[in-house]
């Protein structure tokens, strides 16, 4: 044992303490996954060494045979896992093993509920593989040295999984990391060659480098102890290079867990090999759940990039558009050079072709999921729908395809559930309907009960109800679908086209003509508050509504711009009234100009509230309403 120097005891980050508490108290019912997680980390460390050694071959230190070794000691009750990958410095060990340096930590911890089954899913989403060692171990020792560092710069990290850990500088001749698990009482089953072999075959057969276990052979003549040999127990070939017909679903699922550091199976995957002008293989996965940093657009994302089966880059974001940042997987190209950089990827025309093809492959995979497994797709949409809504603005070439994957709530659907696709909407549209009608708002309750929907309810026309903050922005990029244009039912002068009979149109014109006097009186009373006053064709039950000008920003977009500190263009609403409503009839008959003005402003403010807007002068509204109530009670 080498001498330890610079030994110190440090405390775990608060979040790590909470995680360790969950781990140590048997969070996972399937304990054997600790080995899968540690092997996955070791594989990543070897991949990183391969990548860095492309430009610095001296990092290999004369040992280019990369591998992972797993051994055990029944008497000492230990399991040891060793790799000759990139290794860690003292600072790396403190950073990586003592804190969770990942965006979304606060959100993650906030979601932990104390329910072990639910929390295990959350931890799976977050990906904290190293700490799974404490499921079976009451003490973990880590010995590591960064490739290229001096042998005297090794580090020994040690913890019992409680409040703190020790770290010391040690001598370590070989680069890489050795993890020693001191098994808890009752976990002796893992200090067994047959058990470890089965776990490796089950979870890590796809790892593309040898995973070796000790193999005892007979002692040579004159020797007391048998010689120790190592044998490779996994297939040690890159999964994506094998024919699809030879790969079981379980192998695809375990490979996903390895590259995504997820504990759950993926929702779907697509494995493809392209030959011809371009030559590459891809294996793309749709996760079951969204990671906590999904909405942080600057968070690391992208595919693992290999060139001729050599790992080159983690999180290569150039191969998929940003709205598909949740996709996990690998792409292995024969056409790129091994020394490719992120900057080169952004300019390489080969990448544009691959990006286009991979994007189409993902969208095809999602289309297939939506068509064949609608319940599964419903779960996908719940997790990733808002990100998919970024698509039409970012990916013009696939706008129609993305639109077909979008899901909305509607007046025909269940309470607020976003399950209605545009193809389904058009399939049940009224005869003669050549538009797709929608309404945006802050909440489902607000849009569902909006006066703007009254004429649509009367005629039995379905309207899409859009309540996500991104929706109005989304619709500014969606002009049509399948040849049918989108119409915001709260915007402009509503025209139902063929859905209105000639008799209806003629009657509406006559009513509008007969109310020209009332229109002028309202214009005078409301003054600068409105852009226009007109008779409404939308209302059947309410006295009045506010419509948005054809070119004006809607309420959602105004609120988003205001919240971000941007200047919002001035615009005024259009005041529409229902001439058949008793309140409007009373208003029309009102002789007093003062009372007419008060009633007009009350109706205007009520229409603003019904649209989800805030009043510019709430005190004036209350004063007018109180005055009216006093008059009525006299």
Known binding residues: 37, 41, 83, 88, 102-104, 125-130, 177, 342
Contact 89, 149 (CB under 8 A): yes
According to DSSP, the β-strands at 211-216 and 68-73 are parallel
How far apart are alpha carbons 11 and 17 in whole angstroms?
9
Element at 115 (helix H, strand E): none
**Distance of alpha carbon 303 from the chain centroid:** 15
SS3 percent helix, strand, coil of the chain, rounded to 5, is 45, 20, 35
CA distances to 109, 124, 163, 281, 622 from 112, in Å: 5, 12, 19, 38, 45
DSSP structural state of residue 189: G
* Strand, helix or coil for residue 496: coil
Report the C-alpha gap between 337 and 351 in whole angstroms. 12
Q: What is the 3-state secondary structure (H, E, C) of 315-368?
A: EEHHHCCHHHCCCEEEEEECCCCCCCCHHHHHHCHHHHHHHHHHHHHHHHHHHH
Tokens 């799974």 belong to 132
Closest CA to 599 of 629, 556, 555: 629
By the 8 A CB rule, do 424 and 366 touch? no
Name the binding residues for ATP.
37, 41, 83, 88, 102-104, 125-130, 177, 342
Is the distance from CB of 291 to CB of 104 less than 8 angstroms? yes
In angstroms, the CA 316 to CA 341 distance is 10
Q: Phi and psi dihedrals of 449, rounded to 5? A: -100, 10
- Contact in structure between 331 and 354 (CB atoms under 8 Å): yes
Cα(347)–Cα(321) distance, integer angstroms: 15
In the numeric block, which tokens belong to residue 120?
């295990």
């Amino acid at each position: 044992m080498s001498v330890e120097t610079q030994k110190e005891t440090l405390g775990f980050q608060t979040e790590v303490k909470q995680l360790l508490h969950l781990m140590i108290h048997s969070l996972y019912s399937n304990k054997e996954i600790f080995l899968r997680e540690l092997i996955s980390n070791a594989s990543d460390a070897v991949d990183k060494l391969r990548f860095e050694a492309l430009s610095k071959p001296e990092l290999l230190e004369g040992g280019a045979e990369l591998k992972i070794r797993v051994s055990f000691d029944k008497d000492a009750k230990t399991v040891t896992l060793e790799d000759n990958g990139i290794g860690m410095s003292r600072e790396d060990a403190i950073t990586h093993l003592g804190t969770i340096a990942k965006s979304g930590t606060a959100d993650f911890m906030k979601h932990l509920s104390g329910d072990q089954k639910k929390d295990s899913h959350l931890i799976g989403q977050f990906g904290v593989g190293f700490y799974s060692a404490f499921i079976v171990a009451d003490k973990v020792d880590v010995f590591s040295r960064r490739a290229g560092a001096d042998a005297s710069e090794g580090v020994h990290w040690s913890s019992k999984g409680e409040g703190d850990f020790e770290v010391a500088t040690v001598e370590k001749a070989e680069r890489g990391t050795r993890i020693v698990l001191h098994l808890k009482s009752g976990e002796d089953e893992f200090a067994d060659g047959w058990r470890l072999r089965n776990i490796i075959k089950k979870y890590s057969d796809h790892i593309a480098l040898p995973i070796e276990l000790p193999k005892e052979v007979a002692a040579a003549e004159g020797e007391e102890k048998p010689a120790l040999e190592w044998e490779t127990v996994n297939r040690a070939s890159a999964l994506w290079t094998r024919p699809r017909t030879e790969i079981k679903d379980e192998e695809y699922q375990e490979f996903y867990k390895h590259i995504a550091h997820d504990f759950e199976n993926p929702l779907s995957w697509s494995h493809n090999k392209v030959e011809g002008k371009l030559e590459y293989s891809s294996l793309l996965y749709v996760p079951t759940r969204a990671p906590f940093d999904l909405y942080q657009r600057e968070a690391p994302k992208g595919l693992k990039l290999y060139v001729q089966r050599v790992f080159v880059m983690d999180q290569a974001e150039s191969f998929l558009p940003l709205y598909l940042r949740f996709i996990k997987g690998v792409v292995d190209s024969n056409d790129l050079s091994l020394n490719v950089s992120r900057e080169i990827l952004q300019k390489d025309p080969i990448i544009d072709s691959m990006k286009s093809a991979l994007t189409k492959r993902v969208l095809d995979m999602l289309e297939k999921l939506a068509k064949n497994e609608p319940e599964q797709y419903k779960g996908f949409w719940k997790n990733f729908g808002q990100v998919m809504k970024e698509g039409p603005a970012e990916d013009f070439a696939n706008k129609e395809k993305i639109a077909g994957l979008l899901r909305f709530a509607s007046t025909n659907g269940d309470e607020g559930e976003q399950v209605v696709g545009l193809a389904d909407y058009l399939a049940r549209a009224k005869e003669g309907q050549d538009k797709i009608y929608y309404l945006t708002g802050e909440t489902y309750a607000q849009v569902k009960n909006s006066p703007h929907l009254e004429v649509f309810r009367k005629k039995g026309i379905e309207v899409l109800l859009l309540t996500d903050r991104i929706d109005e922005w989304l619709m500014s990029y969606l002009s049509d679908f399948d040849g049918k244009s989108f119409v915001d039912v709260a915007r402009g002068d509503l025209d139902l086209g063929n859905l209105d009979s000639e008799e209806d149109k003629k009657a509406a014109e006559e009513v509008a003509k007969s109310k020209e006097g009332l229109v002028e009186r309202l214009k005078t009373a409301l003054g600068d508050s409105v852009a226009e006053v007109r008779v409404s064709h939308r209302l059947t039950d309410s006295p009045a509504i506010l419509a948005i000008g054809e070119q004006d920003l809607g309420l959602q977009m105004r609120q988003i711009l205001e919240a971000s500190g941007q200047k919002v263009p001035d615009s005024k609403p259009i005041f529409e009234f229902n001439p058949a409503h008793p309140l409007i009839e009373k208003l029309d008959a009102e002789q007093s100009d003062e009372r007419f003005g008060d009633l007009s402003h009350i109706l205007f403010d009520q229409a603003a509230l019904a649209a989800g807007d805030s009043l510019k002068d709430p005190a004036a509204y209350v004063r007018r309403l109180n005055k009216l109530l006093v008059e009525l009670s006299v």
